[in-house]
Amino acid sequence: AQKVTQAQTEISVVEKEDVTLDCVYETRDTTYYLFWYKQPPSGELVFLIRRNSFDEQNEISGRYSWNFQKSTSSFNFTITASQVVDSAVYFCALSEVNYGGSQGNLIFGKGTKLSVKP
């Protein structure tokens, strides 16, 4: 069965600390996509990244980096030198290409609330 687990419900750090948000997924598909979204207090979900299952290369975008490891079914997200503006709920999500059906639904984790204190 397909499932996304974000074991960390809430994380609190002090500004400038590095923080890693964990994401573990389960899928029966051999081809799938993984995503990260940010939901600031305003509520709108902001798309951050998509990773294809056949591309395990890690990605860096400014202070954000993503570590995809198929061997452990994990897609972790690290924020380096965190800032107060990073405070938000972060969601990891999965879609299955072959088993996802015509609608290609995204399966979301329950989210991790990150609080960055000044």
Partner 1 sequence: SQTIHQWPATLVQPVGSPLSLECTVEGTSNPNLYWYRQAAGRGLQLLFYSVGIGQISSEVPQNLSASRPQDRQFILSSKKLLLSDSGFYLCAWSEIPGSEQYFGPGTRLTVT
User: Under the rule (CB under 8 A), what is the footprint of partner 1?
Assistant: 33, 35, 37, 42-47, 50, 89, 91, 95-97, 100-106, 108, 110-111, 113
Contact between residue 35 and residue 106 where contact means Cβ atoms under 8 Å apart: yes
Q: Which is nearer to partner 1, 10 or 18 (CB)?
A: 10
Q: Output the smallest distance, CB 82 to partner 1, in A.
A: 20
Q: Which is nearer to partner 1, 49 or 80 (CB)?
A: 49
Q: Output the smallest distance, CB 102 to partner 1, in A.
A: 6
d(CA 67, CA 77): 7
Contact between residue 90 and residue 109 where contact means Cβ atoms under 8 Å apart: no
Q: Which is nearer to partner 1, 44 or 55 (CB)?
A: 44
Q: Which is nearer to partner 1, 13 or 113 (CB)?
A: 113
Least Cα distance to 30 among 104, 92, 99 occurs for 99
Q: Report in angstroms the alpha-carbon separations of 86 from 32, 57, 70.
A: 27, 24, 27
d(CA 23, CA 112): 10
Q: Output the smallest distance, CB 20 to partner 1, in A.
A: 19
Q: Output the smallest distance, CB 83 to partner 1, in A.
A: 22
